[in-house]
């Protein structure tokens, strides 16, 4: 974390703690319950935290919210914008209506189309009042004159006008509607997960045009992010539904603890989720984190990972690699030592349809926040220099095929892609 981000983050954390003290569950959609009704800046700061605006709009070494973070998509590299109060390079000259339109419709102040690397297909669900409060807060952010690099996208993806067709196909320009058959807590969690939390942006599979496959919402996806410094590699976002290859083995308490501390009974944060936990969910009120857990655990299961049976020879070879390198922390049963390593039985990372994150953590180890969350396990070491690609492939397949786990076979080519 950069010094600039860290300084701002400290003040943000203090403010979030103030907001937590006034939390209420009277209205699952309105965040007016999260702060004093006469403090739109405080409410807006909390909303910026829920949306994790800091992580996506603050480049390494840059001023908070000044943009320049690169997003490596299948269609090219897109850089996040400056959303400070600067009137030339930021949004200081924007009107409230222009900001709301950007969040709901994916339109910039000049009417041009934004790219959905900015997750307006999720933000469109956020209430207008919440967006007004968010804008009020952003107008207080110290202006920065930084201008992000131009996007690096080839033809025809550099033609913003084509986003009009994309929006017609994939943008549901509708606000969140309360489900009267569910509890207020469930609705509050749904509002946060579907809206500002934009969890589906990473955790939902996409089609060839980059549209979210909403019939498989939150069942897992693939995205590109940093590994080991500046290297960009694929990561898998796990299945967040209650399917066996998702959160079936997680309790509501496990999910809430993971979101709040980065450590739950069935897993701990590493890699790209570190920023989400550190800058966003850990700073939300206990009641909001619990609401998100209630919503996620209440989702209908969507299974993505198939059952796979290894040959006897491959199974024995994978078991040998596991016993030598993994058995001490995760135990021969795969249930994990509570003081050393988590269970791999029922692990959402192990069973993800795309094994990218599993391979990454084996090769590079588990990069975790500092300091580690209370009660966290021993940090997993890197095995990339100790195991060949075929051994990592066998180990990964063994993990995904044993103890009732689900997941297709992992090949040497899959491992090589993460190197």
**In this predicted structure, which of 219-228, 279-288, 338-347 has the lowest mean pLDDT?**
219-228
227/353 same-domain check: no
What's the pLDDT at 33? 46
- Domain total of the chain: 2
Beta strands in 244-291 (DSSP E): 263-264, 267-268
Decide if 242 is inside a domain.
yes
9-66 pLDDT, tens per residue?
A: 434 443 333 333 333 333 434 333 454 456 899 999 999 999 999 999 999 999 999 9
253/330 same-domain check: no
17/45 same-domain check: yes
Expressed in angstroms, the distance from the first to the final Cα of the chain is 24
H helix or E strand, kind and range, residue 227: strand 221-227
What's the pLDDT at 17? 34
d(CA 220, CA 62): 31
291/326 same-domain check: no
92-118 pLDDT, tens per residue?
A: 999 999 999 999 999 999 999 999 999
d(CA 326, CA 410): 18
263/397 same-domain check: no
Decide if 178 is inside a domain.
yes
Q: Across residues 187-208, what is the average pLDDT?
A: 97
Decide if 305 is inside a domain.
no
d(CA 407, CA 409): 7
Exposed, middle or buried, 405 (CB in 10 Å: 0-12/13-18/19+)?
buried
pLDDT confidence of 265, banded at 50, 70, 90?
confident
Q: Across residues 190-205, what is the average pLDDT?
A: 98
What's the pLDDT at 339? 87
List the one residue out of 241, 268, 287 whose CA is nearest residue 361: 268
351/268 same-domain check: no
Domain boundary pick from 240, 265, 297: 297
Decide if 269 is inside a domain.
yes
Decide if 307 is inside a domain.
no
31/78 same-domain check: yes
233/91 same-domain check: yes
Decide if 345 is inside a domain.
yes
Place of tokens 């920065």: 144
Decide if 255 is inside a domain.
yes
Q: Across residues 202-209, what is the average pLDDT?
A: 96
**Residue % of the chain over a pLDDT of 90:** 84
- C-alpha distances (whole Å) from 143 to each of 54, 101, 223, 342 are 15, 22, 31, 44
316/368 same-domain check: yes
User: Residue 307: left (phi > 0), alpha (psi -120 to 50), or beta?
Assistant: beta
Residue 395 corresponds to which tokens in the numbers above?
């180990």
pLDDT confidence of 345, banded at 50, 70, 90?
very high
How crowded is residue 17: how many other Cβ atoms within 10 Å of its Cβ?
11
Q: 371 is in which domain, residue-wise?
A: 312-417
Place of tokens 């949306």: 51
206/316 same-domain check: no
């Amino acid at each position: 974390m950069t010094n600039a981000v860290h300084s701002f983050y400290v003040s943000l954390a203090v403010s979030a703690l103030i907001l937590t003290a006034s939390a209420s569950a009277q209205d699952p959609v309105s965040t007016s319950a999260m702060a004093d009704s006469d403090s739109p800046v405080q409410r807006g700061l909390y909303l910026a935290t829920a949306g994790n605006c800091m992580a996506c709009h603050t480049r390494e070494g840059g001023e908070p919210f000044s943009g320049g973070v690169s997003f490596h998509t299948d269609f090219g590299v897109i850089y996040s914008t400056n959303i400070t109060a600067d009137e030339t390079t930021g949004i200081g000259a924007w009107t409230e209506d222009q900001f709301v339109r950007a969040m709901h419709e994916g339109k910039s102040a000049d009417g041009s189309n934004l790219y959905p690397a900015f997750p307006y297909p999720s933000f469109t669900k956020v209430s207008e009042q919440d967006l007004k409060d968010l804008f009020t807060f952003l107008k207080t952010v110290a202006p920065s004159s930084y201008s992000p690099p131009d996007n690096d996208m080839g033809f025809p993806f550099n033609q913003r006008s084509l986003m009009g067709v994309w929006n017609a196909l994939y943008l549901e320009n509708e606000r969140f509607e309360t489900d009267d058959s569910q509890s207020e807590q469930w609705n509050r969690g749904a509002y946060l997960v579907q809206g500002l939390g934009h969890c589906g942006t990473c955790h939902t599979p996409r089609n060839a045009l980059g549209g979210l496959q909403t019939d498989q919402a939150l069942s897992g996806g693939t995205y590109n992010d940093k590994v080991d410094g500046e290297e960009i590699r694929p990561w898998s976002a796990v299945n967040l539904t209650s399917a066996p290859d998702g959160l079936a083995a997680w309790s509501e308490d496990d999910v809430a603890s993971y979101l709040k501390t980065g450590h739950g009974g069935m897993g701990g944060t590493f890699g790209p989720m570190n920023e989400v936990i550190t800058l966003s969910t850990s700073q939300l009120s206990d009641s909001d984190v619990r609401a998100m857990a209630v919503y996620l655990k209440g989702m209908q299961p969507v299974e993505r990972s198939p059952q796979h049976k290894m040959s006897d020879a491959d199974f024995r070879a994978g078991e040998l690699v596991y016993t030598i390198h993994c058995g001490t922390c995760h135990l021969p049963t795969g249930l994990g030592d509570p003081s050393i390593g988590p269970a791999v039985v029922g692990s959402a990372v192990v069973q993800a349809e795309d094994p990218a994150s599993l391979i990454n953590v084996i090769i590079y180890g588990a990069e975790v926040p500092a300091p580690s969350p209370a009660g966290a396990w021993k940090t997993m070491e890197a095995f990339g220099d100790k195991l060949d690609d075929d051994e990592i492939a066998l180990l990964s397949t063994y993990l995904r095929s044993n103890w009732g786990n689900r997941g297709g076979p992992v090949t040497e080519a899959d491992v090589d892609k993460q190197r």
